[in-house]
Copies of this chain bind each other. A is one copy, B any other.
Amino acid sequence: MELVIRHCLVEGDARDIGIEEGRIAWVRSPGLEVPGDPTPDRVIDGRGLHAFPGLKNGHTHAAMTLFRGYGDDLPLMEWLQTRIWPAEALLTEEDVYHGTRLALVEMIRSGTTYFNDMYWHRPGVVRAVEELGLRAHVGSVFIDHGDPTGVAAGALREAVLRQVSERHTLNLRVQVALAPHAIYTVAPESLEWMADLASRNDLIVHIHLSETRSEVDACVATHGVRPAHFLESVGLLETSLVLAHGVYLDEEEMELLAAHGATVVTNPTANMKLATGGIFDYRAARAAGLRVVLGTDGAGSNNNLDMIEEMKILALVQKHRAGDPTVLTAREALALATTAPSEAFRLGSGDLEPGAPADIILVDLSRPSTQPVHDPVSALVYAANGDAVHTTICDGRVLMHDRRVEVADEDEVVATAIAAAEKLEGR
């Protein structure tokens, strides 16, 4: 036995959890010893702590922690053109490594054990994930600006093919995904090429879709169909498709996507902060049987990666949108950050049960801001925040215990990320 958590609370009941080879071996009433159980390498005292599955962040640009708070409160295009794009043009793989490490330390501290990333300089992201012990899908942004045969597109295709062919050399926690940026930045021919590659290799495809109304209008004007139908026309619905945002999907598109097993990642904070004008229609998605998961987007437009805060904002915004406080409960918000992404990203069970990956967080709900606890899920979603996370375990490894990150020197991670950010912004 690698690790045993003693006497934590699972759905309000005291439980011991045994972990072996990165998986939950058993969940038992406390103190129940079974003859033949090997002595655990490590025991964590879970008394008074609530165990939940590790949180899964469905859409990130992790290294954008470097641009946290860099140009808030600006119109989207001004933000991109005057702040983000000039800084991103200077990014090196080393910068991305440092920015991603900062993101991962933040994720560990707020209970996130998995993220689905799309960014530049992928090797920097992969190195950070392998070192810090989380799980991830890591995709390289693919943008050909509508020119599928140019030099840039050719180099990007080569890089993607290399990532796909080398994917089995990665640590099992780190997986490749294809990441065409969006339908307005990638030529249809390139999307078809990626759809074929993904289908043949059973890969997840991660793309921004229907984030703004103008994107939808442009799609209809150019292709004569709405975005989901356009995805169908280039073959992407035949892949394991993950769509970031989906704010302007209509009911028919939702039904089409649901029929093909696609997943939408809703990012309520980023959508509101950038004032994209809409809110994803969760009620319609549920009616259509469309899988929905939760994401923070990058720290540049959030400005943190706290999935506990994001669950609250998700529930608030959906209740407001629907004019109905029952439309998305605390329990559903938690499912969008645990069981639903486990299914979408093929991570195994997203519940705390034998056989599930040992991706577990222990949360301290004993603090004044979360007491009294009538329902641990309500306390987690509506009253707590990421700082309530006491212990974070991924793949059976303790990444943080008693709020001390064990897999990195936090001060060094923060300092090197600050230095990288200062250089990029020419300060």
What residues make up the interface of A, taking CB atoms closer than 8 Å to B?
A: 65-66, 68-70, 72-76, 79, 102, 105-106, 109-110, 269, 271-275, 277, 279, 299, 302-306, 309, 313, 315-317, 319-320, 322-327, 329-330, 366-375, 378-379, 382-387, 410, 413-414, 417-418, 421-422, 425
Contact present for A302 and B368 (CB under 8 Å)? no
Contact present for B271 and A382 (CB under 8 Å)? no
Contact present for B414 and A368 (CB under 8 Å)? yes
Residues of B within 8 A of A379 (CB): 68-69, 303
Q: B274, B317, B371: which contacts A417 (Cβ < 8 A)? A: B371
Ranked nearest first, the 3 interchain pairs of A and B with the lowest CB-CB distance are A387-B387, A272-B316, A303-B382
Residues of B within 8 A of A372 (CB): 66, 68-69, 417-418, 421-422
Q: List 19 A-B contacts (CB under 8 A).
A: A68-B370, A69-B372, A69-B379, A72-B329, A72-B375, A75-B326, A105-B368, A269-B316, A273-B316, A275-B319, A275-B320, A275-B325, A277-B320, A304-B384, A309-B385, A313-B313, A368-B414, A372-B418, A387-B387
Contact present for A378 and B410 (CB under 8 Å)? no
Residues of B within 8 A of A319 (CB): 272-275
Residues of B within 8 A of A326 (CB): 73-75
Determine how many copies of this chain the complex contains.
Answer: 2
Contact present for A368 and B109 (CB under 8 Å)? yes
Contact present for A317 and B272 (CB under 8 Å)? yes
CA–CA, A274 and B320, complex, Å: 8
CA–CA, A368 and B98, complex, Å: 12
Residues of B within 8 A of A383 (CB): 68-69, 299, 302-304
Q: Could you say which of A66, A109, A410, A414 has the most chain B C-beta atoms within 10 Å of its C-beta?
A: A414
Residues of B within 8 A of A273 (CB): 315-316, 319, 325, 382
Contact present for A378 and B303 (CB under 8 Å)? yes
From residue A237, how far is it (CB to closest CB) to chain B in Å?
A: 30
Q: B274, B309, B374: which contacts A68 (Cβ < 8 A)? A: B374
CA–CA, A22 and B417, complex, Å: 40
Contact present for A73 and B374 (CB under 8 Å)? no
From residue A328, how far is it (CB to closest CB) to chain B in Å?
A: 8
Residues of B within 8 A of A274 (CB): 319, 325
From residue A282, how far is it (CB to closest CB) to chain B in Å?
A: 13
Contact present for A74 and B325 (CB under 8 Å)? yes
From residue A280, how far is it (CB to closest CB) to chain B in Å?
A: 12
Q: B65, B72, B370: which contacts A378 (Cβ < 8 A)? A: B72
Residue ID in chain B nearest A74 by CB atoms: B325
From residue A422, how far is it (CB to closest CB) to chain B in Å?
A: 7
From residue A80, how far is it (CB to closest CB) to chain B in Å?
A: 12
From residue A407, how far is it (CB to closest CB) to chain B in Å?
A: 13
Residue ID in chain B nearest A333 by CB atoms: B73
Contact present for B368 and A410 (CB under 8 Å)? yes
Residues of B within 8 A of A302 (CB): 382-383
Residues of B within 8 A of A72 (CB): 329-330, 375, 378, 382
CA–CA, A128 and B368, complex, Å: 15
From residue A62, how far is it (CB to closest CB) to chain B in Å?
A: 12
CA–CA, A61 and B65, complex, Å: 37
Residue ID in chain B nearest A66 by CB atoms: B372
Residue ID in chain B nearest A418 by CB atoms: B372
Residue ID in chain B nearest A279 by CB atoms: B320
